Amino acid sequence: MGGGSAIKQSERRSHQGESVQGEYSSKEIDCQRGGPKAKKILGKYEIHKTGDGYELLKGGEPIGWFSVAVIEDDRVVYPLSHGISLEVSERGSREILISEKAELCGLIASDGGIYSTKAHPHHEIHFSSKDRELVERYNELFKKVYGIDPHHHYKKKSTGESYFESRAYYKGVYFDLLDLNIKPGAFKFRVPLMHLDRDGLRAYLRGFFSGDGYITKDGELFRIGLQSTCKEGLEELQKAFELLKFHPHEIHLWEKEKPKWRDQYHFSIPTYEHMRFIKEISTYRPDHLKKLGEIERRYKSRENKG
C-alpha cells in the first residue's frame, strides 16, 4: 500500500509527478552581475551579500538566504516559486505575484473559475472565451507560472457559435489559487491587493480588462470601463486603479429602475486618463486593441493641432 516516500507522494498528489517550475520575468536578475553593495538597509531589514547569494536579516537576526535578488532603491525582491516573490522594504515584507501570475489571476477573475464541486470535481481551473487569442494568452501565462500546459477545448453551441476553453486539473495549482482568494465564491471575485506591487496591479488589471472590460464608441469619442455582477470585486478594482494614481469614476448599476436577479455594475475611466490607460494597462483582446489604437491616433492628432 503506497509507494515511494511521503515527499514523492505529496509531489504526485500536488503536481501529478511533474516537475513544476515557474519562470521569472526578465527583470528579475541575479544581482551578482550588477555588483550590488555588500549591505543594504531597509528599516528593520538588512540584506547582506554573501559569496553566492543574499542573506536577509530582521532586527539583526538572520531569517533567510536567497540565491537571487532584485535590488531596487526602496525594496529588494526575492523570486520564490510558482509566480511568487518576496518583497522586502521599509514598510515590511510581503509575498507579491510576478506580473505573469497577476495577469493570469485577472483573466481567471473575469472569464475563468477555480472549482472543486459536484459539477466540477477534480480541482479544476478553467478559462473560456470567444477570442482564441485570449485563451492562448491564458495558456501561455499558465505555462510560465506553473510549467503546465492546460487542456484545450473548442466548444460549439447549437447555434453554431464557438467558444474556446482551457481546463487544467491540478490540486496544487487549485489550492495555490484558492489561497489567494481570487474567486471566493460562485460569481464572485476579489483582487489580491496585498500581493500586488505596481507591476502586479497593472498586469492584473490588464488581465481582468481583457475579459470584462469594455470600450464603447459614443459618437466620435470613446469610453473605457469595467463591468461585473460582483460589486465588491469592482470596488477592489477601483482601489487598484487608485493605487496606480488613476481617478476612476463611481460604480453604477447598469439598470436602476427594476430589481434584477443579479445586478450588473460598472465604472469607467475619465477620458483624460485614456492615454495613461493605454500605456500602462492596455489589453489582449483584439477588438479592444483596435479601439485603443483609434483613441491613440485621435489623441496624437489633437496634440499635433495644438
Q: Please report, as a single letter, which amino acid is at residue 166.
A: S
- Within 163-222, the residues that bind other proteins by CB under 8 A are 163, 186-187, 212, 214-216, 218-221
Nearer to other proteins among residue 95 and residue 273 (C-beta): 273
Nearer to other proteins among residue 113 and residue 200 (C-beta): 113
> Is there binding between residue 227 and other proteins (CB under 8 A)?
yes
> Is there binding between residue 225 and other proteins (CB under 8 A)?
yes
**Closest listed residue to residue 111, CA positions, set 164, 177, 158:** 164
Structural contact between residues 63 and 76, judged by C-beta atoms closer than 8 angstroms: no
Q: Which residue has cell 498586469? A: 203
- Within 271-290, the residues that bind other proteins by CB under 8 A are 271-272, 287
The residues that bridge with 169 in the sheet, in sequence order, are 124
Structural contact between residues 20 and 172, judged by C-beta atoms closer than 8 angstroms: yes
C-alpha of 162 from chain center: 26
Structural contact between residues 47 and 56, judged by C-beta atoms closer than 8 angstroms: yes
- Within 233-252, the residues that bind other proteins by CB under 8 A are 249-250, 252
Residue choice 19, 26, 159, 304 for contact with other proteins (CB under 8 A): 159
Structural contact between residues 171 and 203, judged by C-beta atoms closer than 8 angstroms: no
> Is there binding between residue 58 and other proteins (CB under 8 A)?
no
Residues that bind other proteins (CB under 8 A): 111-113, 115, 119-120, 126, 128, 130-131, 155, 157-161, 163, 186-187, 212, 214-216, 218-221, 223, 225, 227, 229, 249-250, 252, 254-258, 260-262, 264, 266, 268, 270-272, 287, 298
